[in-house]
Amino acid sequence: MTDAKTQIEDTVKSNDVVLYMKGTKTMPQCGFSQRVAGVLNYMGVDYADVNVLADDAIRQGIKDYSDWPTIPQLYVKGEFVGGCDIITEMTLSGELDQLFDQHGVAYDKDAADKIREANA
């Protein structure tokens, strides 16, 4: 498990935004991963995607690393942010925008506003 933990730490620390997900950002393979990737893609966020279905050690390792039982998992600047429900809530409340602003992560503010308008 140490190899998976090292790989996860390296990925999380070397990318501003990382999404551990089932599938890829262009082809999510579960609805929850699709929702989070869809938000990030629509907002134009540059992020690394890690397909946990491709490696069982990473799939279990990311759950152990974050002490969070589900996937997807979003990391910003090395910090675990949350899963699908948390990211959805943060997007709708504007907290995700604030987090990106605080960490200098580029995103399309108009797209974020459109998501909120569509869900108002």
Query: What angle do the packed helices 109-118 and 84-93 form, to 10 degrees?
Result: 100
3-state class of 86 per DSSP? helix
Structure tokens at 8: 């996860």
Annotated binding site for [2Fe-2S] cluster: which residue ranges? 30
Within a 10 A sphere around the Cβ of 46, how many other Cβ atoms?
Answer: 11
Cis preceding-peptide flag for 69 (omega within 30 of 0): no
Listed in sequence order, the DSSP H helices in 15-55 are: 31-42
Annotated binding site: which residue ranges? 30
Cβ–Cβ < 8 Å for 19, 48: yes
